Chains A and B, each alone.
Chain A
Amino acid sequence: MLLREFVRVDWERRRGLLLLTSAAFALGPVIALALLASGRRRPDGMNGVLLSQNAGVLLMGMVCLGAMAWGAGTWADERRGHWIYGLSLPLSRVHLFGLRYAAGLVWLAVPLLLLGLSAALVSRAAELPAGVYAYPGAFTRWAALACWFLYTLMFVLAARFERPWTSLLLAGFTVVMLGTLVNFGVFPMLSGMVEAVIFGSASPLKPLVDGLPLFTF
């Protein structure tokens, strides 16, 4: 019952961001398909696959950004002086922390479901060039895992720091810097570690590097 109340409060306070994120997630696969189709109309059909793959990288960035924003905004209302709501509830802070997390996760599932649905529908409707295939399942699962992970990260950061957007930017900057270190191999040992743990084959953030091509070979 308490969870339902928290879900309701989240909807009342943050439905704008939720609707925006949902719309962006749902449109992502459509954009990827449009780019693929636009490339196919060119003399060199390859461009479509390239565009679609590049769109996959951008799309993954957008999806991750949406999840991070959702996590970072969790405590925004409280930060604006509405702590009284949380403090008025007969809950320990840890309980409050868990319920806010769960409520945010429930709403995060909505854009992800839309993303999966859109990817599945677009994949069915797409007429793909020979040798190119659609991977809606992998696309959605990777996106879901990365979103969950980044939502959790930003949720905790926002609970700890007063400026969630600053923490978001700092986190993004850190990721970019780590990526740069990996790409340029500045510190071989460190970059090896970073590559394995953050961008490696078993990392939930791997699609941030590789992108999430819905259509590829």
Chain B
Amino acid sequence: MAKVVCRKEIAPDTVLLEVESPRIANKRKPGQFVILKKDEKGERIPLTIAKSNAVEGTISVIFQVVGAGTRGLAEVAAGGEIQDVVGPLGKPTEIRKVGTVAAIGGGIGTAVAYPIAEAMKAAGNRVIGITGARSRELLILEDEFEAVCDELIVCTDDGTCGRKGFVTEALQEVIDRGEEVHEALAIGPVPMMRAVCQVTRAAGIPTVVSLNPIMVDGTGMCGGCRVEVGGATKFACVDGPEFDGHAVNWDVLISRQAAYKSYERRGDDCNLLKAGEEQA
């Protein structure tokens, strides 16, 4: 059992949970994830660690409510408990000094990009942060991200905050202004990571992406999280979750992520869907 010390809705349907887990807080490195299982009947949900506090012995995860499992987690109040917290899992991000790093976070992917940007900065890199969301209220960790970057570019699709447009456009501008970017990190929705990789491939910038395929055990046992990278099958849980973005087969990833779409709907009693059905 792990106690939830803080629960915040930091954007619509986006929840931050700060969970007591001193061992993981001490051990975890940027890029690693945990698996949370709310109770006996809950799913095992893999979530990348956004922050940790070794002094308080806590870790924070940020997630979007998408199905029955994440909804269950989102319902745990501060002071409540989560039955199982496993981690840290996955290989940590390779942190080294390369020069200038573009750390790009889309939507809740910013929660993952932020700790990596922080570590990259601490390793002596110049860090250009780019964070994007559909709209102003969906932007997360803007202040925290800004504090660890030499420069932060904020984008919204609707122009309600920062630059209007996609993170790829902001990245292209950075490249076009003559900035020599030595490495890019892209973490966010799959279409965004794929689009960023198209930009960086053209510019010849090595790009690391963090993948979040469907996963069960997180220790290499089930192979459910297999992804195709450079033509070979890899397990995101033990070989990743970070991979060379230019080698990822995005079509396979997108398809595999949709495997349980129909079950998600069947398994939940989402008020939004109900409202939709009533209207229909």
A binds B: no
Binding site for A on B (CB under 8 A): none
Binding site for B on A (CB under 8 A): none
